[in-house]
Amino acid sequence: MYKIETKRKLAPTINLFTFSAEEVAAKAKPGQFVIIRLDEDGERIPLTIANVDKEQGTISVACHEVGKTTAQLGSLKEGDAIPNLLGPLGKPAAIEKFGTVLCVGGGVMAAPIHFKAKALREAGNYVIGVVGAATKDHLVFLEEMSKTCNELYIATDDGSEGYKGIDFLKDLITKKKIDRVVAEGPVLMLKAVADTTHPLKIPTVVDLIPTMIDGMGMCGACRVGVGGKMLFACVDGLEFDGHQVDFDELLARLKTYTLQEKVAKVFWEEGEKTI
Ligand SMILES: Cc1cc2nc3c(=O)[nH]c(=O)nc-3n(C[C@H](O)[C@H](O)[C@H](O)COP(=O)(O)OP(=O)(O)OC[C@H]3O[C@@H](n4cnc5c(N)ncnc54)[C@H](O)[C@@H]3O)c2cc1C
Ligand code: FES
C-alpha cells in the first residue's frame, strides 16, 4: 500500500499529494510519471512526478480533478493509502546545460515543470519560467517557480492575473536569447507554444499526455504522430520535439472516450463504484 503522507490544496480542484513510495523515489527523475489505481476495480491514471524526496522515500504528484478517478483521488485524506502506484515510467527529461531555457507550465502541470526547472537550474542553465492557467484561481506553484527560476512570467486565459493569453510569448522569445523551450500543459497550449517558437527555430520539447493504459509500450493506446512516425508517448516520451508533433491527431484522439468519461463521473457522484 502507498500511504498519502501529505495533501496540500493548490487550487479549488487541484491537490498536491506526497506518497510514501520508497522504490519509486529511489529511481524517479524529472519528466517521468507514475500510474496509480485507487482500488481493485479502479481505472489506472497516469500522473507526472512533481517532486522526489529520496531520503524520505516519497514522491509528489499534483492532480487536477477533471473526472471520476481524479475526483475520487481528491476525496482521499492524509493517512489514506492506495493499493497501486507503478513507476517511474517514461524516459527522464533531457537535463543538461543548454544556456537559457524557457520552462512553460500550464494549469496543474506547473507543478511537474517546476521539478524540471529545478534540475535545469542546477545543471547551470539560466531558467525563465512561465506559469499559465485559465484564471488566477487556477494558478499553482507560483512561489516555488519564482524561487527556482531566474525570471518568472504569469499568464491567464482571462487576463485576471499577469498577461492575457499566450501571445506575449512571441515578444518574450524575440527579446531574450532562448536556447531551448520546455513545455508541459494542455495540448492546445503546447501547440501554441510550438507554433510560436517554430519560425524562430528555437528547439522546443513538449510533454505529450495522450490516453494511456499500460504505460509500458504494449497496448498502443498512447500512440502519437511525431515527424511522420508513430511513437508511443509512454516509452518514447513524455518529451517530444514540439515542431514535429501532429497536434490535430492528438486532440482528436483525446476525445475518443468523452461520453464514457462523463457517464463514469456521474455514476461515481451518484455513489456507484464502477459502471
Ligand atoms: C503521462 C501522463 C501524465 C499526466 N500527468 C498529470 C498530472 O501530473 N496531473 C494531472 O492532474 N493530470 C495528469 N494527467 C492527466 C490525467 O491522467 C487525467 O486527467 C486522468 O487520467 C483523468 O481521469 P478521470 O477518470 O478523472 O477523468 P476522465 O473521465 O478520464 O476524463 C475527464 C476529462 O478529462 C480529459 N482528459 C483525460 N485525460 C486527459 C489527458 N491526458 N489530457 C487532456 N485531457 C484529458 C478528458 O478528455 C475528459 O474531458 C496525465 C496524463 C498522462 C497520460
Ligand atoms: S500506454 Fe500502452 S503503449 Fe503506451
- Structure confidence by residue, pLDDT tens digits, 109-159: 999 999 999 999 999 999 999 999 999 999 999 999 999 999 999 999 999
- Residue 261: per-residue pLDDT: 61
**Residue 71 covered by a domain:** yes
Same-domain status, 43 and 122: no
Residue 271 pLDDT class (50, 70, 90 cuts): low
Q: How far apart are CA 227 and CA 258, in angstroms?
A: 27
> Domain range holding 34?
2-89
Does ligand 2 have an atom closer than 6 angstroms to the CB of 66? no
**Residue 266 covered by a domain:** no
Q: Looking at residue 25, which CATH number applies to its domain?
A: 2.40.30.10
**Residue 245 covered by a domain:** no
pLDDT digits (tens, 9 = 90+) for 171-229: 999 898 999 999 999 999 999 999 999 999 999 999 999 988 899 999 988 999 999 99
Whether the CB-CB separation of 250 and 187 falls below 8 Å is answered with yes
Q: How far is CA 32 from the centre of its chain?
A: 10
Ligand 1 atom closest to the CA of 209, numbered from 1: 53
pTM of the predicted model as reported, rounded to 2 decimal places:
0.91
Strands (E), 135-221: 151-156, 163-164, 180-184, 204-207
All 3 cell numbers of residue 55?
531520503
188 — phi, psi (to 5°)? -65, -35
Whether the CB-CB separation of 192 and 106 falls below 8 Å is answered with no
Predicted confidence (pLDDT) at residue 255 exceeds the cutoff of 80: no
Whether the CB-CB separation of 205 and 182 falls below 8 Å is answered with yes
- Report the nearest-CA residue for atom 2 of ligand 2: 219
Beta-carbon count within 10 A of 137 CB: 14
Task: Return the best residue to mutate from 32, 208, 214, 256 for the ligand 2 pocket (most ligand atoms within 8 A of CB).
Answer: 214
Say how many domains are in the chain.
2
pLDDT digits (tens, 9 = 90+) for 16-73: 999 999 999 999 999 999 999 999 888 899 999 999 999 999 999 999 999 889 999 9
- Residue 40: per-residue pLDDT: 85
Predicted confidence (pLDDT) at residue 75 exceeds the cutoff of 90: yes
Q: Look up residue 67 and give its DSSP letter.
A: S
Does ligand 2 have an atom closer than 6 angstroms to the CB of 165? no
